[in-house]
Amino acid sequence: MTGYPQPPFPEQQQKIPGRTNEMSPVPDHGEKTYVGSGRLEGKKAIITGGDSGIGRAVAIAYAREGADILIAYLDEHDDAEETRRLVEEAGRRAVLVAGDIQSSSHCRQIVEKARTELGGIDILVNNAAHQNTFTEIEDISDDEWEMTFAVNIHAMFYLTKAAVPHMKAGAAIINTASVNSDSPNPTLLAYATTKGAIQNFTAGLAQLLAEKGIRANAVAPGPIWTPLIPSTMPAEKVAEFGKQVPMKRPGQPAELATTYVMLADPLSSYVSGATIAVTGGKPII
């Protein structure tokens, strides 16, 4: 796909966690372009952070591939309702669950809701994340550090632990890591540290669950144009976002969807413990 927007973008700033329709340009989630072929027919998926950004693109793709979706999100009800509309437009079920995944009990409620309302769990996409930008370590409060770990890695453990007993052989867990797992941005110190932990968690999990027939993989996005960017970065950085990679632009959420589909596809039955880079040409070595 060519013709996606390139920086400079308009300088813009939002409050965390950000809203899709307030972005300029508005991200592409594959609304008009993704065409399914039944690769996930009848599957049941949980997607955290499924209201917007990468999560919305994955929800659209999974629905058009035949899956029913539980969309877990914080409080972005307008974005979540739009994702629900897109999933239902594809003829699939969409269940919305709002709340804070820092809470282990809420993570267990998400899994229970999927089990009872969707009828099972075949795919768990641990995608929700928190980040913030700091130029000095002294500016990172203890609460900020702890929150970043709670959202990005602790919740991943809570959700996975709760989901695995309900997953059968052939199920898939897909964790959103980052190019920061291998090439940490110093101004995203807390976020980058958690993303390294996610990659390690995924590698260990794949080995732990192999005998159960459950696969675990990670996706490592580079700079992707989502509400997280204008809500967590200075406006001048947003204007140049993505310029640093070889393709000279940020990726659109739609450009990651096929990776998440491939990793969930039962035909990828020997792919486990992998990290797939989607970075606009920036190598992960």
Report the catalytic residues: 191
- Residue 257 has which token pair? 């969807």
Whether 66 and 42 have beta carbons less than 8 Å apart is answered as yes
Residues ≥6 apart with Cβ < 8 Å to 169: 212, 213, 214
Closest CA to 139 of 195, 186, 89, 83: 186
Dihedral through CA 172, CA 176, CA 180, CA 185, nearest 10? -170
Sign of CA dihedral 96, 164, 102, 237: negative
CA distance 153 to 149: 5
